[in-house]
Amino acid sequence: MSLSQRISRGLKATLLSRVIQAITNAALIIVLARYLLGPDGYGLLYFALSVIGVVAIFASAGLPKSTARYVNTYLEEDPSQISPILRRSALYIGVLAVCVGIALSVGNEWLAAALNEPELASFLVLGVVYVFFRAFNQYCILAFQGFNRVDWSAAMGIIENITRLICVVILATGFGAIGAFAGYVLGYVLSVGFGLVALYLLFYRRYDPAAVLEDGLSRRILEYSIPLTATRGANVLDKRVDTVLVGVLLNTTAVSFYTIAKQVAEFAAVPVRSLGFTISPTVGEQKFADRTDTAARVYEESFKHVSLLYIPGALGVILVAEPLIRYVFGTEYLGAAPVLQVLGVFVLVNAINLITTDSLDYLGRARIRAIAKGITAIANFLLNLVLIPLVGVVGAAIATVITFTTYTALNVYVIHQELGLDLRTIGRTMLVITGISFVMGMVVVLGLPFVSGLLSLGAVIVISVLVWAALSVAIGLVDLDEAAAFFAN
């Protein structure tokens, strides 16, 4: 199978999973926010998910990504080590997850009191199961990625998201926010069940295992997981600590505004999340096979297409934020509109980051990424402490944009050092895309006064997208024949 065919197959499978995830998440957000929970209950649910998400870092640390890296490496070097690698890393993760679960069950009331939210205690008790299965969900998904079979990771994502939607809606109807949280747990349980069976039957048993793990390999897996743990911890803190601080410094209603805006901004990342997940092992594989030029071209083409999609996308989010919140979620959530406008910048920066960070891990540059992430995560925490009391929930969005932009710029610089990117061509392409985006934005501005509901808002968005597509094809940024050939592979 050619490189293009392998990337195409993985991208299509992952994109399908991400689209299903986006659809189910959108349905879940709207149903929970508008019909089942309301601002207070919705804010409580996502406050709990943010707190437990921080705790869950310690249940698997950086071991899933480290496992994937060494699986990917030993596929070529010595396949007999694959089964021992999978077995040993699963043992490490199981021990960590059990220890975290015990700590969470013992300290749930204390943590709820410390965060000034007594209702959080019941979520933390159920969180014991959540952190265990979430840890093994990451293990399976990233192990499949290490095998360059992200289609199986995609299958796990589809199972998790469909199960979660069904279970959350059913349980939230009868039990409110705690029932919705139980639905999240069940989504992970079924996904992990499928993933472990598939990993064992289709991959673990495929290779004749060595009698023992290669001398020093267990230590290298653990050592490489340390910077990955720091990166993942900083990443989770960066994404979750703002929500936690909004809940602690303001209230759960403010959490609902911030969560809605951030979910809409992250919803826009569906296509690029699939691309980044697919190309990262390929970039590493080509680099270590002394085909640096090929690795650079893969990344540069990805960067070009991400810019083409997300520069106009970010501008569009900024322009339609208010009517989008009004007509999709209801007037009680209009406090989320200014937050979403600030996070419009995050939409673009996040897209670039998603094709960059995983590639750095596969290039063996996890340590420098961990340092950058740690510094910017601390800066984000401090900025939140300053800005939330000053300007409210919008302050959390401003802090996110400032620190995440800095982090992404550092990552792009490091990958340029590794691959020697053609920055002049990239910059010229981005200028052309910015011009197209400006024209598209003018169409949106002219159409907004005529928006009176979802249908008219949708019509304005569709017209602006058609203008963007026509200009992109006319200027030559998109080759329809090449695109059709790629997705036909």
Residue keyed to tokens 């970039």 = 283
Answer yes or no: are the C-beta atoms of 222 and 206 closer than 8 Å: no
The predicted-structure confidence for 127-145, as pLDDT tens digits, reads as follows 999 999 999 999 999 999 8
Supply the pLDDT for residue 213.
Answer: 81
Lowest-confidence region among 6-15, 131-140, 251-260: 6-15
Share of residues in the chain with pLDDT > 70 (%): 89
Q: Where are the alpha helices (DSSP H) in 289-330?
A: 292-328
Supply the pLDDT for residue 311.
Answer: 92
**Pairwise CA distance, residues 424 & 429, whole Å:** 9
pLDDT at 487 over 60: no
Supply the pLDDT for residue 8.
Answer: 63
Going from the C-alpha of 357 to that of each of 125, 269, 365, 370, the distances in angstroms are 33, 14, 9, 10
pLDDT bracket for residue 212 (50, 70, 90): confident
Q: What is the token pair recorded at 319?
A: 């322009």
The predicted-structure confidence for 215-235, as pLDDT tens digits, reads as follows 888 888 888 888 788 777 777
pLDDT at 358 over 80: no
Supply the pLDDT for residue 44.
Answer: 92
pLDDT bracket for residue 121 (50, 70, 90): very high
Going from the C-alpha of 429 to that of each of 371, 416, 478, 484, the distances in angstroms are 30, 17, 12, 22
**Pairwise CA distance, residues 305 & 273, whole Å:** 13
Share of residues in the chain with pLDDT > 90 (%): 39
Q: What is the token pair recorded at 447?
A: 């159409």
**Average pLDDT value over all residues in the chain:** 86
Q: Is 330 helix (H, G, I), strand (E, B) or coil?
A: coil
Supply the pLDDT for residue 387.
Answer: 95
**Pairwise CA distance, residues 77 & 11, whole Å:** 26
Cα 268 to the center of its chain, rounded Å: 11
Going from the C-alpha of 281 to that of each of 14, 72, 218, 397, the distances in angstroms are 14, 8, 21, 32
pLDDT at 3 over 80: no
Number of H helices, E strands in the chain: 18, 0
Supply the pLDDT for residue 321.
Answer: 93
